[in-house]
Amino acid sequence: MEPVAVADVADATELADVAARTFPLACPPTATPENIAAFIDAHLSADRFVEYLTDPQRVVLVAHDDGRIVGYCMLIRGLPDDEDVQQAVTVGPTVELSKMYVLPDNHGHGVSAALMKTTLERAAALAVKSVWLGVNRQNQRAQRFYAKHGFTVTGTKTFHLGLGVEEDFVMVKAI
C-alpha cells in the first residue's frame, strides 16, 4: 500500500466507482437496493466527487495500492444544521469524518487504519478539538473499528437513505 494522499479532481471517476462498490457494504440488511442506488446516484457520483474535491471545507483522502484507489474518506469542517448532531458533538471546533470506505479485497490489510491515522493527523493540523462521525446502529464492525481508535457514542441521528430513514450513532473523539 502507498501512503495515504489527498485526492484531486482527476480522481473523481475512480472515487465514484469505489464508492458505488463499498457504500452498500455499510448499509443495514433492511435497506432496499432502490434506496441504496438512489443514495449512490445522489451523493456518490463522479460529479458529486468533483464538488466535494473543489469545496474548501472538505478534504478527500485516498489510499492506493498498485496505483489504484482501494479506500477513501472525507473530512468536512464544522457541524451540519442537524440538531441531533449539534447536541451530540459538544467539543468544538470539530471536523466530520465522512464516507470512510475500503474495497472488500483490502479489508484486513491496514488500509482503514492508515486512513484513520492520516485523518487524525489532518484534523490535528486543522486545530480542531474533536472529530465526529455517523455510523449505522447495525454496523457493529465499523463501530468496533471506531471505538478501537478512541471514538465514543455520544448521541444518535437520522440518515436519509433514498426514501428510507436509518438510525445512526454519532461517535466523537476528542483531539
Residue 98 sits in a domain whose CATH number is: 3.40.630.30
- The pTM of the full predicted model, rounded to 2 decimals, is 0.94
Per-residue pLDDT of the chain (175 residues; tens, 9 = 90+): 789 999 999 999 999 999 999 999 999 999 999 999 999 999 999 999 999 999 999 999 999 999 999 999 999 998 888 999 999 999 999 999 998 999 999 998 999 999 999 999 999 999 999 999 999 999 999 999 999 999 999 999 998 988 888 899 999 999 9
For residue 83, give its domain range.
Answer: 5-174
Number of independent structural domains in the chain: 1
pLDDT of residue 133: 97
Helix (H, G, I), strand (E, B) or coil at 95: strand
Sorted by sequence, the CB contacts under 8 Å of residue 143 that are 6+ apart come out as 135, 153, 169, 171
Q: Are 170 and 85 in contact (CB under 8 A)?
A: yes
Phi and psi at 30, nearest 5°, equal -80, -10
Distance CA 70, CA 54 (A): 21
Q: Which residue from 96, 95, 106 is spatially nearest to 25, judged by alpha carbons?
A: 106
pLDDT of residue 68: 96
Bridge partners, residue 98, by sequence: 74
pLDDT of residue 50: 98
pLDDT of residue 131: 97
Query: In sequence order, what E strands does 10-163 have?
Result: 58-65, 68-77, 94-102, 130-136, 152-161
